[in-house]
Amino acid sequence: MALDTETPLNSLGFAKPPSETRVVVAMSGGVDSSVVAAYLADQGYDVVGVTLQLYDHGAALAKKGACCAGIDIHDARRVAEERGFPHYVLDYENIFKDAVIDEFADSYLAGATPVPCIRCNERVKFKDLLETAKDLEADCMATGHYIQRKMGANGPELHSAEDANRDQSYFLFSTTPEQLNFLRFPLGHLPSKDATREMAAQYGLSVADKPDSQDICFVPDGNYASVIEKLRPGAAEPGEIVHADGRVLAQHDGVIHYTIGQRRGLGIGGLSEPLYVVKLDVDKKQVVVGPKEMLATRVVPVREINWLGDEPFSSRDEWHLSVKVRSTRPPREAIIRPLSDTTAEIELLTPEEGISPGQACVFYANEGSRVFGGGWIWRGY
């Protein structure tokens, strides 16, 4: 009788030695993806580093706090040289502009509050780059995102990171089951960012103390309005700041300078009650303000849903899960009522303030760390 000599799975889940397992690592030039590449190379994997040039890095060369700029390409290349694996830079400027920047500008002008980092993951990194990884005959693609991929009864599942402070599940809700099969997230189980930096120091990486990127990569100074004005000349047309009861309170110099929930910088002091931006009416060029209670929302329409549950989304009338309506807020219990396979009405058990079209609504298990996907908040008409 022959002995069972089945090859054990390696740390990336393949039944072959690391040296025969090719993994493409998406390298932004920051400490997270650099540690992933160094860690996998150290384990003996056939690592190929890939960095995306997403916009004119010459203009951003000297700007700190933004990923994928010229200095970041240099840092990624240096890590690859230090650790002895190949590294490629891919020019994705046109893809990025078409798939991310143009929609960002248009949705912002329409009074929404877009989250371009999600669209970038969905339409660029986990689509075009993932296909490039397959063209390079990779077995999988690894990233430095803080999120976990766990094997469940029905295949790989998406789970939030071990460190709640670093968790990036909100930005990765649109990862499909097919993509999840191919992706790996080696940092998701770490207890803290300090642990990542310790690994970087152990590997002697030049980026070990590099600061985290804070801003959207093509808005390095955080000034959204100036970027929109460059992309869409004439966008900052003046108009009125109007109270919800119809009173004209002041003038503004462009709807693009305001966001739902904003209180400071409205230029309408001297009133008895604090006022907040409750609506942006782009067609009328009006910024509508009102008392805080007007920001509270209980019912949220959501579309373009990516569902990661084990049963079809529309197989139930209701799903009792928790949802995040902003990346900075904890999940809150809700009832999700499917209207189709990709649309739903979300009833929040506790009303939330400042919910804005253009933000994501991400679904979580009430207990445990599993992520069930999510969708995009819209106006519902």
Q: For the beta carbon of residue 39, count every other beta carbon within 10 angstroms.
A: 22
Beta bridge partners of 51: 89
Using pLDDT thresholds of 50, 70 and 90, give the confidence band for residue 3: very low
Q: For the beta carbon of residue 37, count every other beta carbon within 10 angstroms.
A: 31
Would strands 46-53 and 87-91 be described as parallel, antiparallel, or unpaired?
A: parallel
pLDDT for 216 equals 82
pLDDT for 2 equals 45
What is the distance between the alpha carbons of residues 299 and 345, in angstroms, rounded to a whole number? 7
What is the distance between the alpha carbons of residues 366 and 38, in angstroms, rounded to a whole number? 36
The token pair that represents 63 in the structure block? 């700007």
Contact by Cβ (8 Å): 336, 348: no
pLDDT for 215 equals 73
**Residue 31 in marked binding region:** yes
Average pLDDT of the residues in 182-187: 98
Average pLDDT of the residues in 325-347: 96
**Residue 28 in marked binding region:** yes
Top mean pLDDT of 24-33, 53-62, 270-279 is at 24-33
Using pLDDT thresholds of 50, 70 and 90, give the confidence band for residue 59: very low
pLDDT for 381 equals 53
pLDDT for 219 equals 84
**Residue 144 in marked binding region:** yes
Contact by Cβ (8 Å): 332, 323: yes
Using pLDDT thresholds of 50, 70 and 90, give the confidence band for residue 62: very low
Active-site positions read 120, 217
What would the pLDDT profile of 142-179 be if each residue is shown by its tens digit? 999 999 999 999 999 999 999 999 999 999 999 999 99
Contact by Cβ (8 Å): 341, 303: no
What would the pLDDT profile of 26-35 be if each residue is shown by its tens digit? 999 999 999 9
What is the distance between the alpha carbons of residues 168 and 212, in angstroms, rounded to a whole number? 14
**Residue 70 in marked binding region:** no
pLDDT for 56 equals 64
Contact by Cβ (8 Å): 22, 138: yes
Instruction: Indicate whether 362 pLDDT > 70.
Output: yes
Average pLDDT of the residues in 336-358: 95
Instruction: Indicate whether 58 pLDDT > 70.
Output: no
Using pLDDT thresholds of 50, 70 and 90, give the confidence band for residue 70: confident
Q: At what angle do helices 102-109 and 224-231 cross, to 10 degrees?
A: 110
Instruction: Indicate whether 61 pLDDT > 80.
Output: no
What is the distance between the alpha carbons of residues 199 and 191, in angstroms, rounded to a whole number? 12
pLDDT for 260 equals 87
**Residue 32 in marked binding region:** yes
What would the pLDDT profile of 194-228 be if each residue is shown by its tens digit? 999 999 999 999 999 998 877 788 887 778 888 88
Beta bridge partners of 53: 91
**Percent helix / strand / coil, the chain, rounded to 5:** 30, 25, 45
